[in-house]
């Protein structure tokens, strides 16, 4: 199982939000490239980078993300504001190993299908859910789409990896939504869990599920546990 540290970018800064609320932002003062290198040097094999500006259509950190990916040997995945095949091509050509499609999976699922045919395992789909329903555009817009139904559709398209974020838990340090994850791991797709990890005990519990990976963010920034300690749990 992969332990994947997260870097959320807003206006070039490393920040964390609470439940995706842009008004509840904490700037941790890290230089993004330095932080990514620190994660890699500590032992992270993969780093998850979110373009918060791109997600809500308010600017983009794309060049900064490409710059980070080009300077690391660790796998870099990124999502946020990726709406066209040209966006996908720009990121992959720039060195990003996995492109995470979110909003477009709801608004233009055919694009996901076409992207999977072209780029295969370089395509991941981010499913961000609040009370079981998918939210899009930086979690600013609600949809009537059920998360499990969207995931099944993506599996039918050949998507091999789903990053599932529970918005209720994200940035809250209240623990993951284990019930939802226990349902999802039975689907024929790699599931990466995101949202709510607060302690090493949470990681121990998640390790018992057949997850592909776990994304950790705020707990690292708040010093609840170190990346070294988290990686040790998954050894």
The secondary structure of the chain, three-state, reads: CEEEEEEEEECCEEEEEECCEEEEEEECCCCHHHHHHHHHHHCCCEEEEEEHHHHCCCCCCHHHHHHHHHCCCCEEEEECCCCCHHHHHHHHHCCCCEEEECHHHHHCHHHHHHHHHHHHHHEEEEEEEECCEEEECCCCEEEEEEHHHHHHHHHHCCCCEEEEEECCCCCCCCCCCHHHHHHHCCCCCEEEEECCCCCHHHHHHHHCCCCCEEEECHHHHCCCCCHHHHHHHCC
Residue 46 phi/psi, 5-degree rounding, is -150, 145
- Residue 53 among the catalytic residues: no
- Candidate list 8, 53, 87, 166, residue with the active-site label: 8
- Pick the catalytic residue from 77, 128, 166, 202: 128
Tokens of 23: 């008004």
User: Cα separation of 157 and 32, whole Å?
Assistant: 34
| Contact yes or no for 112/123 (Cβ under 8 A) | yes
Q: Catalytic annotation on 121?
A: no
Active site residues: 8, 128
């Amino acid at each position: 199982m992969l332990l994947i540290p997260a870097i959320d970018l807003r206006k070039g800064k490393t920040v964390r939000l609470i439940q995706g609320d842009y008004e509840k932002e904490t700037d941790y003062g890290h230089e993004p490239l330095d932080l990514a290198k620190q994660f890699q040097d500590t032992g992270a094999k993969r780093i998850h980078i979110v373009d918060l500006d791109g997600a809500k259509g308010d600017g983009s950190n794309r060049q900064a993300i490409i710059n980070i990916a080009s300077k690391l040997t660790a796998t870099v995945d990124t999502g946020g504001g990726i709406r066209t095949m040209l966006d996908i091509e720009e990121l992959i050509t720039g060195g990003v190993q996995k492109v995470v499609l979110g909003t477009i999976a709801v608004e233009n699922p055919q694009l996901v299908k076409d992207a999977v045919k072209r780029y295969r395992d370089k395509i991941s789909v981010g499913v961000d859910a609040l009370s079981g329903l998918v939210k899009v555009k930086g979690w600013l817009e609600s949809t009537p789409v059920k998360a499990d139904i969207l995931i099944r559709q993506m599996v039918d398209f050949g998507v091999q990896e789903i990053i599932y974020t529970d918005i209720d838990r994200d940035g809250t340090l209240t623990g993951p939504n284990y019930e939802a994850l226990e349902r999802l791991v039975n689907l024929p797709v790699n599931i990466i869990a995101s949202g709510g990890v607060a302690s090493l005990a949470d990681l121990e519990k998640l390790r018992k599920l057949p997850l592909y990976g776990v994304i950790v963010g705020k707990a690292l920034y708040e010093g609840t546990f170190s990346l070294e300690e988290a990686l040790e749990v998954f050894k």
